[in-house]
Chains A and B, each alone.
Chain A
């Protein structure tokens, strides 16, 4: 088990990113594994969509944890779980929930700073308290991918150097609070990405976007991990709809 944590951590190499093609159930994790994935990441939006829920912690936590456990049981690869905002606001409750997550056998998680069910982001200090609580619950080896939703909450044309500097402030604070990695979904401006990866004390994760940068462009900007979020499940269901249309004709 310790080996799996180390193996996963070492996959994060700035400039030579780990690519995670997000899964949502055991079957999709097995498919990603067969394709040669080095690790499996779940996507909360995909899990929600596959099971008829809205995103944003509307999937009951009990279901999310059981689903994570099924995925962990289905593949040999390390599994990191998109745990949204930890299903709680209060640090003590975040800690309790993260302990349950670690018990599934996951080796890491995404943990975001948007106020799920509210508006905007947690203040830096508040999010750091939540990160410290999560770290205390999951132990030192667990890979906490601290996500900032600064760029998701703003339109792309509002992504500027001021936003990037605010993101850098969070990267540094989150690293000190115990984060293992830093995730900046929605940011695709490569100059800003590079500014962040140069300043972040922890490896930076970008999210693949339709018509966004290529793997080699992300690599060139210093990214250490590329994930695909909700897009694989969405694209696959479009394909499935087309297959069904042909079969029904």
Chain B
């Protein structure tokens, strides 16, 4: 029987994307599992919002790891954890934190190249060293979804083919250094998405946001994984607010 790692990796099919509806606690993970999800993905932003923290590694790592463990214990499905920038800059510390993350029972993680608490994104070589360290800490089978934040850091009208080429350079380098997947949040220009998907040696992940392309359009552009980031939690809290308003009327 295939391991949870293998089953998780096999869900990533370019042109037939797996959809992740991001969760933040054990209860939301159970709800998504009951809806028929094939795997569970956490979102760092919803975990932060649900617990009164801002995003960007302000959630203490101990809390993030304990929360991941609770989610993993609550569902039978494979769980991938949004681990932001690995809670460190230096590769050695990233590797140590990756060991802790893998010990939760997670099958994979998101690992981003933005400088958390700083500006911009890590230089390519440093981020490659960080991915190598993540791989070393988390083990061979772990699905490292290497995320580039170049499109998040730029306005949508600045998303052009030069930027897509820079992203492709990162996809190839990240793959060479141990990345299992490549995540391009906020890129929604389907021509550029297709360009990135064709050139990336590893499956590409897009984020669904209000007004984003349809699942079919993402599929046609070669996307292998669609995640929802902070939007499910944000939408749900709007619903809760409305429910509360009605109850108190």
- Give the interface of A toward B (CB within 8 A): 19, 21, 25-28, 30-32, 34-37, 49-52, 70-71, 73-74, 208, 215, 228, 232-233, 235-245, 247-248
Contact A35:B21 (CB < 8 A) given known A233-B27, A240-B28: no
| Most chain B CB neighbours (cut-off 10 Å) among A51, A208, A228 | A51
Per a CB cutoff under 8 Å, which of A21, A26, A49, A238 touches B244? A21
* A28–B25 touching, CB < 8 Å: no
| Most chain B CB neighbours (cut-off 10 Å) among A35, A215, A240 | A240
* A243–B236 touching, CB < 8 Å: yes
Verify if B9 is at the interface (C-beta below 8 Å from A): no
* B35–A237 touching, CB < 8 Å: no
Query: What's the tally of chain B residues with a CB closer than 8 Å to chain A?
Result: 41
Task: For the complex, give the distance between the alpha carbons of A176 and B213 in Å.
Answer: 64
Per a CB cutoff under 8 Å, which of B52, B71, B244 touches A71? B52
* B235–A36 touching, CB < 8 Å: no
Interfacial residues of chain B within 69-114, with CB under 8 A of chain A in the complex: 70-71, 73-74
Verify if B219 is at the interface (C-beta below 8 Å from A): no
* A240–B232 touching, CB < 8 Å: yes
Closest A residue to B242 by beta carbon equals: A35
* A52–B71 touching, CB < 8 Å: yes
Task: For the complex, give the distance between the alpha carbons of A236 and B242 in Å.
Answer: 11
Per a CB cutoff under 8 Å, which of B25, B238, B248 touches A37? B248
In the complex, the 9 A-B pairs of residues with the closest C-beta atoms, listed nearest first: A52-B26, A26-B52, A35-B244, A244-B35, A74-B52, A52-B74, A27-B50, A50-B27, A21-B244
Closest CB of chain A to B44's CB: distance in Å? 14
Residues of A within 8 Å of B208, CB to CB, are: 247
